[in-house]
Amino acid sequence: MRNLTPLRTNNEEKLGLLNEAIQSFNGAALKFGKYYQELEQRVRELDIELKYKNQALEKNLKEKEEARDYLHSILESLSTGVIVVDLEGRITSFNHAAEEITGFTSERVIGKKFSRFFNFECFLNMGLDLKHMDRIESTTQFETEICRKEKGTQYISISISPVKNSQKRNAGTVLTLQDITIIKSLEERANRAGRLAAMGEMAARIAHEIRNPLGSIELFASLLRRDLEGSGQLKELAEHISSGVQCLNNIVSNMLLFIKPQQKPEFQVFDIHDPLNDSLFFSSHMIKTNDMIEVITKYSSLPLKVYGDLELLKQAALNLVLNAIQAMPKGGTLSISTREIGGHKDSSMAEIKFVDTGTGIASSDLSKIFDPFFSTKERGTGLGLAIVHNIIKLHGGTIDIHSSEGEGTVCTITLPLWNGNAKEQNSELFGKRSKIIC
């Protein structure tokens, strides 16, 4: 019988090793299982942490987007134009007000060179070179003009400032544009009122000084004319003297009318169309003599009640109609239109426009047309528009004239509409009158 002891011993050793391997594997599996559980737990914790981080990031991004949108809304709501230019001279921001002022759209200019759309000439007088944005170190302000076909000349106040980054280095330039056309218009009206007041005071003194010797000359001329009855040519010379005196007296009377109406204003409520129609009636003979002149009326369908002196407003309207007719010696069209503007009971105004297609006014003369004694007519006294100006101011209104030589004239008048309170409007009108009429 063979000896099986060595074989059994060998198998037992192998089994032992196998058991040890299995136990070692089981131990490693337990450790891996534990590690896996810990890893799963860590992954869950990281998922939760990542979830919170993502939520915080989303919230932060949302807040930043809301802040950006809010700032963008503020920028777009500003009445001041804002243009941001980077160091390469490219436009990076262009708000709605800048579009309104310049006439360019943001889609057209964003990303483009500033010099492509804007003329550097308006900056040259300030010693600025916008081609080198990084050299602008301090804020500079100045005024310039922008001429647009649809809006005419606009007066713009421009402020140029450097944009600094977090390291206090130049990151570009911001330009702010403010339309000051209305302010310039108000300044011109104030200057005009000041000139009229000063010249009116001087004219009053001159008028009174002239009238005294004129009366004596007229008296002596009439006596001389009587004594020269039947003397033929000598009497004719005396009549020339009398005629010249009457002409001078007429000029002086107009001067005094400019300074102060001879009759006390009689305020009443009436439709503004009444003095307009009367002025056309009284000027109809001049219109008929020139059959090439056409008068078109475009009145408001509703009455426009104003509180004022009917005769004075009739005189103002007649002066404007006659000016328009005289400006169209070769014929043309005079349009008179009315409408209500404002839309609020306490601030509603009647707007009256006189538009002619006449010879127009030279740009160099526009600032002087309301000055007493300024006239472009050979026989004009230069007091017509000055008187109209004072009559309109007496009624608390405004008058503006826009014209181009050879292209006609637009005269726009605004008058306060009747608010139903005579005491209140009397207070307003005569309070203003005391500052305008000497």
Residue-by-residue DSSP string for 313-364 = HHHHHHHHHHHHHHT-TT-EEEEEEEEEES-STTT-EEEEEEEE-SS---TT
Residue 129 lies in a domain: yes
pLDDT of residue 434: 35
Q: How many CB atoms lie under 10 A from the CB of residue 110?
A: 13
pLDDT of residue 432: 47
For residues 324 and 276, what is the distance between their CA atoms, to the nearest angstrom?
A: 14
For residues 317 and 322, what is the distance between their CA atoms, to the nearest angstrom?
A: 9
CB 372 within 8 A of CB 200: yes
Range of the domain at 122: 78-179
Instruction: Answer left, alpha or beta for residue 110, where phi above 0 means left and psi between -120 and 50 means alpha.
Output: beta
Q: What phi and psi, each to the nearest 5 degrees, are found at residue 229?
A: -60, 125
pLDDT of residue 254: 60
Of the residues 259, 287, 308, which one is the last residue of a structural domain? 259
pLDDT of residue 433: 42
Structural domains in the chain (count): 3
Residue 364 lies in a domain: yes
pLDDT, average across residues 175-198: 79
Do residues 278 and 389 share a domain?
A: yes
Which percentage of the chain shows pLDDT scores above 90? 13
- What CATH number does the domain containing 225 carry? 1.10.287
Do residues 339 and 414 share a domain?
A: yes
For residues 352 and 386, what is the distance between their CA atoms, to the nearest angstrom?
A: 18
For residues 35 and 27, what is the distance between their CA atoms, to the nearest angstrom?
A: 12
Do residues 330 and 212 share a domain?
A: no
Residue 26 lies in a domain: no
Structure tokens at 88: 């390469």
Residue 41 lies in a domain: no
Kindly indicate the confidence band of residue 346, based on its pLDDT and cuts at 50, 70 and 90: low
Of the residues 179, 196, 212, which one is the last residue of a structural domain? 179
Residue 243 lies in a domain: yes
For residues 81 and 94, what is the distance between their CA atoms, to the nearest angstrom?
A: 8
Name the helix (H) or strand (E) containing 411: strand 409-416
Query: What does DSSP assign to residue 174?
Result: E
Do residues 221 and 299 share a domain?
A: no
If we measure between CA atoms, which residue out of 108, 80, 79, 84 comes closest to residue 94?
84
pLDDT digits (tens, 9 = 90+) for 82-126: 888 888 888 888 988 888 888 888 888 888 888 777 765 555 444
Do residues 243 and 273 share a domain?
A: no
- What CATH number does the domain containing 391 carry? 3.30.565.10
Structure tokens at 116: 């492509």
CB 255 within 8 A of CB 261: no
Do residues 231 and 90 share a domain?
A: no
Do residues 290 and 419 share a domain?
A: yes
For residues 216 and 401, what is the distance between their CA atoms, to the nearest angstrom?
A: 41
Of the residues 259, 280, 312, which one is the last residue of a structural domain? 259
Kindly indicate the confidence band of residue 276, based on its pLDDT and cuts at 50, 70 and 90: very high
Do residues 278 and 391 share a domain?
A: yes
Of 358 and 252, more confident: 358
The reported pTM is 0.48
Do residues 272 and 416 share a domain?
A: yes
DSSP string computed for 234-289: HHHHHHHHHHHHHHHHHHHHHHHHHHS-SSPP-EEEEETHHHHHHHHHHTHHHHHH
pLDDT of residue 437: 31
DSSP string computed for 63-115: HHHHHHHHHHHHHHH-SSEEEEEETTSBEEEE-HHHHHHH---HHHHTTSBHH
Q: How far apart are the first and last CA of the chain?
A: 157
Structure tokens at 140: 């500079």
Do residues 411 and 276 share a domain?
A: yes
User: What integer best gives the mean pLDDT of the chain?
Assistant: 78
